[in-house]
Amino acid sequence: GGGGGVGPHVDIKCFSRDLTDEQKTALAADIAEAIARHLNSKDRSISVALQEVQEADWKAQVWDTEIGPKLDELIKKPGYSM
8, 13, 24, 61: which is the annotated catalytic residue? 8
Catalytic site includes residue 8: yes
List, in order, residues 6 or more apart from 35 with CB less than 8 Å away. Answer: 8, 10, 41, 46
Q: How far apart are CA 59 and CA 82, in angstroms?
A: 7
Q: Could you tell me the CA-to-CA distances from 77 to 1, 67, 68, 69, 74 in Å, in that order?
A: 27, 8, 10, 12, 6
- Residues serving a catalytic function are 8
